[in-house]
Amino acid sequence: MALDSDPLHALLLDGEGGARALPPEQVDRWTPEQGLLWLHLDYTDPQAKHWLENHSGLPELAVDALLAENTRPRAVTLNQHLLLALRGVNTNPGADPEDMVSIRLCVSAGRIISTRKRRLLSVVKLVDDLQQGQGPCNSADLLVQLNERLVERMGQTVENLDDELSELELSLLTDAQSEMRHAVRNLRRQCISLRRYYSPQRDAFNQLQSERLEWLTTDHRLALREISDRLLRHIEDLDMLRERAAMAQEELASQQSEQLNLRMYVLSIISAIFLPLGFLTGLLGINVGGIPGADNDNAFMMFLISLVLMVGGLFWLFRRWRWL
């Protein structure tokens, strides 16, 4: 039974870096002698799900892995099939990088079936390379190149975060504090989220290197090891960025505390100056007999002059004590 709906793509690789599209009605008539088949499906499509469960010829465990809603990066061997769950940075327009996009693969020497829910630009680039005759030649090549592009986009995201944090550090003393706090907090959140997703991916790469598959050669294992090492460097960079973001947050908190202390200090000085003035005005404002100067027309002016002299004396005293 042929696919009832068009797959995202069905490509027949020619073994020389190129590929041609295979019509959906010919997918079930495909044989390994025709070349490597790469079938890419949307696992949320009911018709694609029906075809995987009933007509793909895959083991039940492989079908369950391809249709799983929630996945964690891993690599498992099932006979001569390699089951992979990988994640890529969401670089789609308007998306958050830490909102990772998952791809599930069942790879064998003659056929690759992959599923996803959202578009993954690493897969789009790989398909473009195949259409231009510069893509992978076999299953192992496709696996290596896909992982390489996933890690490459992860590296670009880490570099963008590094640049963003550097700009925040430079403008730490000039930008509005509320905006800075929000920006640093958001960047630190991205670093933590990406770090949480990158680590299981490296574990999957390490598992992949240890799998014994006939079609996975030593050269491919070495390439996967190099990709795993690059991913480890990105993880270490994320750890460093997270620490730098934490230090930036501490610096912002310190600045906020200094500003608060300065304002409280100014208010304390003002209170110290007006405390005796308030005491004297309150004392002379009581409505009882015997208030000094009550019968003197110049008493009010003399009282004002004495208050001004008192304020001047307090300023001189605070300056001498180096409070001002």
Flag whether the pTM goes above 0.85: no
At residue 19, φ and ψ (nearest 5 deg) are -160, 155
Question: At how many degrees (to 10) do helices 139-170 and 218-284 cross?
Answer: 20
**In this model, does residue 255 exceed pLDDT 70?**
yes
Apex 128 CA angle, 127 and 131, nearest 5: 90
Lowest-confidence pick of 13-17, 27-31, 233-237: 27-31
Distance (Å) of CA 247 to CA 163, 190, 242, 250, 266? 16, 16, 9, 5, 29
Helix locations, the chain, DSSP H: 46-54, 60-67, 121-131, 139-170, 177-210, 218-284, 299-320
pLDDT band for position 106 (cuts 50, 70, 90): very high
Mean pLDDT of the chain: 82
**CATH among 1.20.58.390, 3.40.109.10, 3.30.460.20, 3.40.50.720 for 9-255:** 3.30.460.20
Is the CB of residue 62 less than 8 Å from the CB of residue 80?
no
Q: pLDDT by residue (tens digit) across 286-310?
A: 766 677 777 777 878 888 888 888 8
At residue 26, φ and ψ (nearest 5 deg) are -100, -5
Q: pLDDT by residue (tens digit) across 159-177?
A: 888 888 887 777 775 665 6
